């Protein structure tokens, strides 16, 4: 089955609203990363957060390792935040497993 | 932060030809990876390379695929011969170590096989 599940699959917000993205995973993760993929396809690393809470700018990620879940909170969303947010975990030394992503669309 | 570069950004070739995708990883990193993303679909792991050897590969890493990093230069993915289903964006990544180390991704090479 799907090792990394993200929800919701898509989300539409008005500019200024907050977004809460979820990631659940079925295996023990040694590392967890959140990525942003632009509509053009390029990949940007947002946060690396295998456990606990991390902040950067308007982003906050909380990972509860024992419960195998992580969240990404985007505060005061902007139209430029539109794109796909990917959650990815490492379960061993050699690869990262990606979720299918949450497609975020922020309306002006 | 550290950057992974990929050359070229786009490549168009005819089915059956050979193609080499180049990756310039972060300079002190030791582990190198390729991932494949078909348009609109999920990012999928292809292969991991360390110390001159393939450490792990997925079933997407067909016999026509090979990787190498000669003399510490570019980390390359070669596909010979190419097939229509190889059309995708290929992402290179590198990491300084294993386990809890995060992977740094390049911007991708868009490969179109005609």
Q: What is the pLDDT of residue A2?
A: 66
pLDDT top residue among A26 and B20: B20
Q: What is the pLDDT of residue A58?
A: 97
The verdict on A50 touching B (C-beta cutoff 8 Å) is yes
Closest alpha carbon within chain A to B30: A94
Burial call B77-96: b when 16+ CB within 10 Å, e when fewer: bebeebeeebbbbbbbbbbe
The verdict on A30 touching B (C-beta cutoff 8 Å) is yes
Q: What is the pLDDT of residue B100?
A: 74
Tokens of A35: 């990525």
CATH number of the structural domain spanning residue A92: 2.60.40.10
- Per the structure, the count of domains in chain A is 1
Residue A108 within a domain: no
Residue B102 to residue A48, Cβ atoms within 8 A = yes
Of B42, B104, B108, the CB nearest to A100: B42
Per-residue confidence band for B5, with pLDDT thresholds at 50, 70 and 90:
very high
The verdict on B45 touching A (C-beta cutoff 8 Å) is yes
Cα distance between residue B41 and residue B23, in whole Å:
22
The verdict on A43 touching B (C-beta cutoff 8 Å) is yes
Residue B32 within a domain: yes
Interface test with A, best of B4, B32, B42 (most A CBs within 10 A): B42
Q: What is the pLDDT of residue A73?
A: 98
- Residues of chain B above pLDDT 70, percent: 100
Closest alpha carbon within chain B to A30: B100
Query: CA dihedral defined by A19, A75, A33, A66, rounded to 10 degrees?
Result: -70
- Per the structure, the count of domains in chain B is 1
CATH number of the structural domain spanning residue B53: 2.60.40.10
Residue B12 within a domain: no
pLDDT digits (tens, 9 = 90+) for A50-89: 999 999 999 999 999 899 999 999 999 999 999 999 999 9
Q: What is the pLDDT of residue B91?
A: 96
Taking 80 as the threshold, does the pLDDT of residue B44 lie above it? yes
The verdict on B23 touching A (C-beta cutoff 8 Å) is no
Residue B45 to residue A97, Cβ atoms within 8 A = yes
- At residue A79, φ and ψ (nearest 5 deg) are -60, -30
Cβ count near A94 (within 10 Å): 20
Residue B111 within a domain: no
Q: What is the pLDDT of residue B101?
A: 81
Can you give the residue range of the structural domain that contains A25?
A: 4-102
Largest CA distance in chain A: 42
Residue A51 within a domain: yes
Of B1, B48, B91, the CB nearest to A95: B48
Can you give the residue range of the structural domain that contains B65?
A: 24-97
Q: What is the pLDDT of residue A19?
A: 96
Closest alpha carbon within chain A to B43: A98
Mean pLDDT (chain B, rounded): 93
Q: What is the pLDDT of residue B113?
A: 98
Cβ A11 vs Cβ A102: under 8 Å: yes
Residue A63 within a domain: yes
Q: Strand, helix or coil at B28?
A: coil
Determine the average pLDDT of the residues in B30-52.
93
Closest alpha carbon within chain A to B107: A42
Residue B110 within a domain: no
pLDDT digits (tens, 9 = 90+) for B50-80: 999 999 999 999 999 999 998 778 999 999 9
């Amino acid at each position: 089955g799907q090792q990394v599940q993200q929800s919701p699959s898509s989300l539409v917000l008005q500019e200024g609203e907050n977004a809460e993205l979820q990631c659940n995973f079925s295996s023990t993760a040694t590392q967890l990363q959140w990525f942003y993929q632009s509509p053009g396809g390029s990949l940007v690393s947002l946060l690396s957060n295998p456990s606990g809470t991390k902040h950067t700018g308007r982003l906050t990620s909380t990972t509860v390792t024992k419960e195998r879940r992580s969240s990404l909170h985007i505060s005061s969303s902007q139209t430029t935040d539109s794109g796909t947010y990917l959650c990815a975990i490492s379960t061993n030394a050699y690869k990262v497993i990606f979720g299918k992503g949450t497609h975020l669309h922020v309306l002006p | 932060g550290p950057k992974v570069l990929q050359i070229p950004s786009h490549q168009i070739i005819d089915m059956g030809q050979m193609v080499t995708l180049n990756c310039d990883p972060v300079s002190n990193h030791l582990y190198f990876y390729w991932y494949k993303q078909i348009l609109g679909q999920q990012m999928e792991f292809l292969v991991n390379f360390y110390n001159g050897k393939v450490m792990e590969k997925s079933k997407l890493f067909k016999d026509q695929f090979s990787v190498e990093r000669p003399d510490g230069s570019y980390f390359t993915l070669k596909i010979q011969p190419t097939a229509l289903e190889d059309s995708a964006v290929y992402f290179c990544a590198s990491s300084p170590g294993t386990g809890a180390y995060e992977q740094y991704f390049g911007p991708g090479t868009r490969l179109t096989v005609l």
